[in-house]
Amino acid sequence: MSFPILTGSYVVMNAMTHTYLNVLNFNPVPGAIVCSVGNYLGNDIWNVATTESTGLTTQSFGTGAFVSYADDTGVVTSNSIYSWILQQNNAVPYAWNIVDNGTGLALAVEGNSTANGARVIATKEASDKSQAWFFIAKVPVPGTN
């Protein structure tokens, strides 16, 4: 199975809000996944890798926790590996929908808010601009986590 992006470290930016996927205040598991205006720290950087079977994992460079989803907690960090798939977004060229491998729900910024700390939610996949994410290659800098 091939994947649209290579294993590596990325800053993940929402196409609608131009904010970045982030672990709020480096909080431990289950830390809230939010979007930030960019802080140049490890909680804005994600290590992305393929899984053995299908999908990929998204792990915080700053905390080591994985992005996960559950009905009762929403989009939070987890110590367990959690599988996502990428689907080409139909509204924004070069952008991807980050889709939960189990439920088919896609990540989006709640209310398309541009506020620092806006919550990331999982919602029915619609492949619109609010669910479009850019993966921008990033070399982690020691001491930023």
> Is residue 2 pLDDT above 60, yes or no?
no
| Residue 104 in this model has a pLDDT that exceeds 70 | yes
Cβ atoms < 10 Å from Cβ of 136? 11
Domain architecture of the chain: domains with CATH: 8-134 (2.80.10.50)
Asked if pLDDT for residue 43 goes beyond 60, the answer is yes
Q: What is the pLDDT of residue 1?
A: 42
pTM of the model as a whole: 0.92
Residues 45-54 have pLDDT tens digits of 999 998 877 6
Q: Is the pLDDT of residue 140 over 90?
A: no
pLDDT at 41 over 50: yes
